[in-house]
Structure 1
Amino acid sequence: MNETPAKKSKLRRYIVTGLITLFVLALLGGTGFMLFMKIKFADFQPPMEPANVILSPVVPYEFKDTIEAIGTITASESATITATVTETIKAINAQEGQFVAKGTSIVDLISDQEQATLDQASKSYGRYNQLVKNNLASAEKRDEEQASFNVAKAQLDKRKIVAPFDGFLGIRHVNVGDVVQPGTVITTIDAIDPIKLDFAVPEVYLAALKQDMPIEATSAAWPDTVFKGKIYVVDSRIDTDSRAIMVRAIMENPDHKLKPGLLMKVQIIRDVKTSLAIPESAIQSAGQKKSVFVVGADKKVAEKVIQTGQREPGVVEVTSGLVAGDKVIIEGQMKTGDGATVHIASEKTLQDIVQDDAGYSIPRKQDSLRNDFKITPKDPAAATTEPVTTDGQAK
Structure 2
Amino acid sequence: MQQTTGSKAKENRKVGFVLLAIVLCGAAAWWLFFRGDEPANAHVPPAGVAVVVEASPVRIDSIIDEVKAIGTLRSEDSIVLRPEISGRVVALGFKEGQPVRKGQVLVTLDASIHQAELAQAEASLTLSRANNARAAELLARGAASKRTGDETLAKMQMDEASVALARARLSKTRILAPFDGVAGLRKIAVGDYVSPGQDLVALDVIDPIKLEFRVPELYMAQVKVGQAVRFDMDALPGRGFEGIVYAVDPQVDVDGRSLAIRARADNQDRLLRPGLFARVSLTLARHDEAMLIPEEAIVPQGTDHFVYRILDGKAAMTQIGTGIRRDNMVEVLSGLTPGDKVVTAGQLKLHDGAAVSIRTPPAP
TM norm structure 2? 0.59
Distance 1:200 1:159, change over 3 A: same
Correspondence 1:235 to 2:226: no
Distance 1:212 1:339, change over 3 A: closer
After superposition, what is the alpha-carbon deviation per residue over 1:87-115, rounded to whole angstroms, capped at 9, x for unaligned? 21101111112222222110111111111
Alignment partner for residue 198 of structure 1, among 201, 212, 215? 212
Distance 1:133 1:66, change over 3 A: farther
Q: How does 1:103-182 map to 2 (within 5 A)?
A: 103-129=103-129, 132=132, 135=136, 138-182=152-196
1:265 Cα deviation from its structure 2 partner = 1.4
Are the counterparts in 1 of residues 291 and 338 from structure 2 also a CA contact under 8 Å? Answer: no
Count of residues in correspondence between the two structures:
254
Correspondence 1:68 to 2:82: no
Distance 1:189 1:132, change over 3 A: same
Q: SS at 2:163's partner residue?
A: helix
Are the counterparts in 2 of residues 277 and 316 from structure 1 also a CA contact under 8 Å? Answer: no
Residue in structure 2 matched with residue 262 of structure 1 by the alignment: 276
Give the whole-Å Cα distance in 2 for the aligned partners of 1:224 and 1:130: 76
Distance 1:245 1:322, change over 3 A: closer
Q: Any stretches of 5+ residues in structure 1 without a counterpart? A: 1-57, 291-306, 324-336, 343-395
Give the whole-Å Cα distance in 2 for the aligned partners of 1:318 and 1:270: 15
Q: SS at 1:226's partner residue?
A: strand
Correspondence 1:245 to 2:266: no
Are the counterparts in 2 of residues 87 and 179 from structure 1 also a CA contact under 8 Å? Answer: yes
Give the whole-Å Cα distance in 2 for the aligned partners of 1:127 and 1:148: 13
After superposition, what is the alpha-carbon deviation per residue over 1:211-266, rounded to whole angstroms, capped at 9, x for unaligned? 22222222122333332222222112111111112112222222222222122111
Are the counterparts in 2 of residues 100 and 169 from structure 1 also a CA contact under 8 Å? Answer: yes
Q: How does 1:323-362 map to 2 (within 5 A)?
A: none
1:161 Cα deviation from its structure 2 partner = 1.6
Residue in structure 1 matched with residue 287 of structure 2 by the alignment: 273
TM norm structure 1? 0.55
Q: SS at 2:236's partner residue?
A: coil
Aligned residue identity for 2:77: E
Q: SS at 2:196's partner residue?
A: coil
Q: SS at 2:165's partner residue?
A: helix
1:277 Cα deviation from its structure 2 partner = 10
Residue in structure 2 matched with residue 50 of structure 1 by the alignment: none
Q: How large is the Cα RMSD of the aligned pairs?
A: 3.8
Identity %: 32
- Indicate the larger mover: 171-180 or 226-235: 226-235
1:310 Cα deviation from its structure 2 partner = 6.2
| Greater relative contact order, per chain length (Cα 8 Å cut-off, separation 6+) | 2
Give the whole-Å Cα distance in 2 for the aligned partners of 1:271 and 1:311: 12
Aligned residue identity for 1:161: I
Whichever structure has more strand as a proportion of its residues is: 2
Are the counterparts in 1 of residues 59 and 338 from structure 2 also a CA contact under 8 Å? Answer: no
Q: Any stretches of 5+ residues in structure 2 without a counterpart? A: 1-57, 138-148, 300-306, 308-319, 340-357
Q: SS at 1:223's partner residue?
A: strand
